[in-house]
Amino acid sequence: MTTTQTREAMNEQFDRRTLDWYIDKLVEIIVFISGISAIIFVVGIFVFVTMEGMGFLFDSFSFSEFFGSEYWEPSDEDAPEYGILALIAGTASVTGLAMLIAIPFSLGTAIYIAEFSTGKTREYLKVLVELLAAIPSVVWGFIGLTIMNPLIIEIFDVPVGLTVLNAGIILGLMAAPIMTSIAEDALKAVPDRYREAAEALGATRWQVIYKTVLPAAKNGLLGAILLGVGRGFGETMAVLMATGHAVNIPGSVFDSVRALTATIAAELGETAVGSEHYQVLFTIGIFLFLITFVINLTADLIVRGIKNQ
């Protein structure tokens, strides 16, 4: 090999190396931008929803009327009133009932799957729970409308079946599988040596669970519950179809109500872009965004708390 040939070969190799280096840098930039896209989108959601609702928010927004009035009368031509108190009550009552159902059942199921069941049974149950979590919300709403509605009318002898009870059960069944998965993860995260130590002291399986596993998994379970609450709060289609959609502060579980999310879903299509009603719906959107933001943030802080211990 002559010197020139060697030099050429070396140059070629050097060029390839620099090219690879540039590609590497380019990829790093692309990947970084994609990485921060989640932040961009979350900020984007807040900015764009606020932008559309801004007109109302800075013009005629009154804190006491918006949150304090139970009159939601957006189509009143002379003096439309935008009070979301009844809508908040609707969302809260449905979510509350759903959690009353979902919390014991999801925690019980999670404990059964994680602590009592073994081998194949555990695998099958986990798959089943995962499949339940996948059922779309519009299908749940349809179930509330067509199966639960006549059932409630018949069993409780009431005139209307589209009520807090209906939506609460539907939402509870909907949220439970997701809460089960998260709660089961939390139980699984408790190290086995905790269980072994308790068993070595003569504790029965239930004593191990009650005195050792549950206290150790406390934060994770709380996180699961909070995420369930967030999910119930933000659920739209099922609540739209199963609550009866009547603006009402419920006196019992047999009253029809209307949820915040459902109001947006039902009315956005009928409002003129840029009108006050349209802006109010976006303001409700901001409120929902902030609430779920706080719930998710709290859940994350609690769950992360155990990981750092």
Partner 1 sequence: MSVESMSVEAMPVENKLTESLFAESQLNVKNKKIQSLYRVLFLMMTLLLILPVLIILGTLIVKGGSMISIDFLFTDPINGMTEGGIFPALLGTVWLVSLALLISVPLGIAAAIYLSEYASENWFTRAINLAIINLAGVPSIVHALFGVGAFVMFFGFGTSIMAASLTLAIMTLPVVIVSTREALQAVPHAFREACWNMGATRWQTIRRVVLPNAVSGILTGVILEVSRTTGETAPIMFTGAAFFLPFLPQSVFDQTMALSLHLFVVSTQVPNVPESLPYAVALVLIGMVLLMNSVSIAFRMYLRGKKKW
Residues 176-235 that bind partner 1 (CB under 8 A): 176-177, 180, 204-207, 209, 227, 230-231, 233-235
99 contact partners, CB below 8 Å, separation of at least 6: 172, 175, 225, 228, 229, 232
142 touches partner 1 by CB under 8 A: yes
Q: Which stretch binds partner 1 (CB under 8 A): 7-15, 69-77, 134-142, 186-194?
A: 134-142
* Sign of the dihedral defined by the CA atoms of residues 288, 261, 285, 89, in that order: negative
Between 76 and 270, name the residue whose CB sits nearer to partner 1.
270
246 touches partner 1 by CB under 8 A: no
Q: Which stretch binds partner 1 (CB under 8 A): 16-24, 58-66, 92-100, 183-191?
A: 16-24
Query: How many of the chain's residues bind partner 1 (CB under 8 A)?
Result: 87
Q: Where are the beta strands (DSSP E) in the chain?
A: 72-73, 81-82
- The CB-of-261 to partner 1 minimum distance in angstroms stands at 5
Q: Which residue from 35, 119, 159, 251 is in contact with partner 1, where contact means CB under 8 A?
A: 35
- The CB-of-2 to partner 1 minimum distance in angstroms stands at 27
Q: What is the DSSP string of 170-223?
A: HHHHHHHHHHHHHHHHHHHTS-HHHHHHHHHTT--HHHIIIIIIHHHTHHHHHH
CB 105 within 8 A of CB 172: yes
CB 164 within 8 A of CB 253: yes
289 touches partner 1 by CB under 8 A: yes
- The CB-of-250 to partner 1 minimum distance in angstroms stands at 21
- Interstrand relation of 81-82 and 72-73 (parallel, antiparallel or unpaired): antiparallel
- The CB-of-158 to partner 1 minimum distance in angstroms stands at 20
Between 29 and 79, name the residue whose CB sits nearer to partner 1.
29
Q: Which stretch binds partner 1 (CB under 8 A): 36-44, 57-65, 68-76, 191-199?
A: 36-44
Task: Return the amino acid letter for 19.
Answer: L
Q: Which residue from 2, 159, 269, 272 is in contact with partner 1, where contact means CB under 8 A?
A: 269
- The CB-of-79 to partner 1 minimum distance in angstroms stands at 26
85 touches partner 1 by CB under 8 A: no
Question: Burial level of 14, CB count in 10 A (0-12/13-18/19+)?
Answer: exposed
| CA dist., res. 47 & res. 49, Å (int) | 6
97 CA to centre of own chain: 16
- The CB-of-4 to partner 1 minimum distance in angstroms stands at 25
Q: Which residue from 132, 153, 158, 249 is in contact with partner 1, where contact means CB under 8 A?
A: 132
CB 80 within 8 A of CB 307: no
- The CB-of-7 to partner 1 minimum distance in angstroms stands at 21
Q: Which residue from 2, 3, 13, 39 is in contact with partner 1, where contact means CB under 8 A?
A: 39
Closest CA to 149 of 165, 136, 132: 165
